[in-house]
Structure 1
Amino acid sequence: MTKPRSFADRFIDTIEWLAAMFVGIVALNIFVNVVLRKFFSTSIPDSYDFGRMLLGILIFWGIAATSYRGGHITVDLVWAAVSRRKKRLIDVFATLVLLFVVTVQTVMLVDKVRLTWQDHVLTYDLNIPTWPFYAVAWAGDVCAVALIAIRTWRLVFQPEALHDQHFDQVE
């Protein structure tokens, strides 16, 4: 019998699925625009604006997905040479630094969303407000903060709950 999944695990899975959906949306936008240009000599109105904003959304939701799993780029030269206990300390310290940086980034990004809304910034062709795209990107950053906080908690109190390649290695 399988163990019921916790709320945190379901939340993490949802964030990862959302990030994957944004990859698909960006790819679909590019594919449709290329097909329209190649075969019909036309394009999606505001496709450049949509592509640019969707890419921003993808980046912030990607940060959320990779930050929890530890899938981002790391330098493990020192980490590989120390004991298991020191590895965990390094991981906790690095995750706390990441949590601080992404939290500051999230606070600054909410100001960008607010200013974009106040300035009534619109897309070029269809005059669609751009602030909702910025808000969705900001939501990805908020999710990144939440997932990094969950990772930090688990590193300190529940390291067995992490599905991390670092803890799966045999010393």
Structure 2
Amino acid sequence: MSRTTRWMDGFIDSIEWIAAFFIGIVAFDVFVSVLLRYFFGYTIPDAYDFGQLLLGILIFWGIAATSYRGTHITVDLVWANANAYWKRVIDVFATLVLLFVVSVQTYTLFDKVSTTYTANVQTFDMRIPVWPFFAIAWIGDVAAVLLIAVRTYRLIFHPELIKPVDEASKSGE
């Protein structure tokens, strides 16, 4: 395995760890908020706003994590009945479409980050600026574009570097 391949695999693993970290933060936020509200009658200021913002971050970093591995929800009716050549053609085409869609989404999300910064949008209780949360989500979207581009390159030129998803985990069994 080449040095570039090892570095890229490390980068991919780092993106997946960051997404897992945000899952943990969202779960912790929800757990602590519910615990304090129901057992102690206390509400964390801006807990609802933080929950929404963290969930948005989680979604965009989750897109990055699932897009490279191909573990997102798919419809495999045609793909499952195709031979190996057509499966690869379908995979490349689908990944190119995904790359285009996520690239446009990244562009529009950057616009949202800049307009939120310019408008000085803040949380309700503590008046914390919202744009840094949007920026972290945007960075996750940029990571998704990079990982989808790497997946596209590897599907076209080095398909052996794409680790296959076993059918049991792909079908949810």
1:65 alignment counterpart: 65
TM-score normalised to structure 2 length: 0.92
**Residues 76-91 of structure 1 mapped to structure 2, 5 A cutoff:** 76-91=76-91
Residues 92, 156 of structure 2: 8 Å contact kept: yes
Q: Which amino acid aligns with 1:54?
A: L
Deviation of the 1:48 alpha carbon = 0.4
Deviates more, 1:78-87 or 1:104-113: 78-87
Residue 15 of structure 1: aligned partner: 15
Give the match for residue 97 of structure 1: 97
Aligned-partner residue type, residue 153 of structure 2: W
User: What is the alpha-carbon distance in structure 1 between the residues aligned to residue 146 and residue 2 of structure 2?
Assistant: 23
In the alignment, what sits opposite 2:39?
Answer: 39
Alignment RMSD, CA only? 1.6
Q: Which runs of 5+ in 2 are unaligned?
A: 168-173
The alpha carbon displacement at 1:83 in A equals: 1.0
**In structure 1, C-alpha distance between the alignment counterparts of 2:19 and 2:82, rounded to whole Å:** 34
Counterpart check, 1:30 vs 2:37 = no
The answer for the alignment partner of 2:148 in structure 1 is 148
TM-score normalized by the length of structure 1: 0.93
Match of 2:138 in 1: 138
Farther-moved stretch of structure 1 (5-14 vs 44-53): 5-14
Shift of 1:36: 0.6
Deviations 1:117-154 (A, max 9, x none): 00000000110000000000000000000000000000
Q: In structure 2, what is the Cα distance between the partners aligned to 1:56 and 1:120? A: 19
CA distance in 1, matches of 2:73, 2:63: 11
Aligned partner of 2:97: which letter?
Answer: V
User: Could you tell me which amino acid in structure 1 is paired with residue 163 of structure 2?
Assistant: H
Q: CA deviation at 1:165?
A: 2.4
**Which residue type is aligned with residue 78 of structure 1?**
V
Partner deviation per Cα, 1:96-128 (whole Å, 9 max, x = no partner): 000000000000000000000000000001100
Q: What's 2:125 paired with?
A: 125
For this pair of structures, how many residues does the alignment match? 166
Identity, % of aligned pairs? 62
Deviations along 1:51-92, one digit per CA (max 9) or x if unpaired, are 000000000000000000001111111111111011000000
Q: Do 2:71 and 2:165's aligned partners in 1 also have CA atoms closer than 8 Å?
A: no
